[in-house]
Amino acid sequence: MRRRSILPVLAFAACARKSNLPELGTIPPFEFTDQTGQRFSSEALAGRIWVADFFFTNCPGPCPRMSNQLKRVQTETQPLPEVRLVSITVDPDRDTPEALAQYARRFQADPQRWFFLTGRKDRISNLMSESFYLGSMGDLQAHSTRFVLVDQEMKIRGFYDSFAAESINQLIEDIRSLHDRP
């Protein structure tokens, strides 16, 4: 009986586990203040998969819906405790750490996994436009409603429409894909 090598099978399995998501940019180091009033550095995200969005707490429009969608992502990724969610305010003048903490409680954010950040307006604006490619902070009502998936190496791997259920499903699937890769 002829012995068959399992190497092609193993090679296929390894390839199947690699993510096919494109690399769309790299997030540079940043530092802000979180909802507890503590310094939050992007170093806390190194080696982790994370999803970012930009919002403001007194938003009369899309922000609460976006946060509900992130709550769903938090719930669906519960088996992957290293996944993080990062919501960055576009209204740092009003969104103090106390306001962010109240907002976080409203959406039952897990304080170990979901962070709400504030900081200097110019730094937030620069990060949003130059690193996340989500436009400027000129008009609060016109901020982006997209979620951004970032991998363990701080590479942007996707943009997702926060209002489309199929887009949120794809985001969750892509998080799992990045998690399962070697």
pLDDT tens track for 137-166: 665 556 788 999 999 999 999 999 999 999
In a domain, 1, yes or no: no
Mean pLDDT within 101-112: 97
Residues 140 and 90 sit within 8 Å (Cβ to Cβ): yes
DSSP letters along the chain, please? Answer: -----SHHHHHHHHHHHS--PPP--BPPP-EEEETTS-EEEGGGGTTS-EEEEEE-TT-SSSHHHHHHHHHHHHHHTTT-TT-EEEEEES-TTT--HHHHHHHHHHTT--TTTEEEEE--HHHHHHIIIIIS----SS-GGG---EEEEE-TTSBEEEEEETT-HHHHHHHHHHHHHHHH--
Look up the CATH number of the domain holding residue 38: 3.40.30.10
Burial bucket for residue 167 (CB in 10 Å: 0-12, 13-18, 19+): middle
Q: Decide if 129 is inside a domain.
A: yes
Place of tokens 């130059």: 130
- Judge whether 13 lies within some domain: no
| Domain contains 19 | no
Q: What domain range includes position 101?
A: 25-180
16 domain-assigned = no
**Residue 160 located in a structural domain:** yes
Rounded average pLDDT over 88-109: 96
Pick from 24-33, 61-70, 139-148, 156-165: least confident: 139-148
Q: Is the pLDDT of residue 52 over 60?
A: yes
Q: Is residue 18 part of a domain?
A: no
Rounded to the nearest integer, the mean pLDDT of the chain is: 87
Q: Is residue 162 part of a domain?
A: yes
Query: Structural domain tally of the chain?
Result: 1
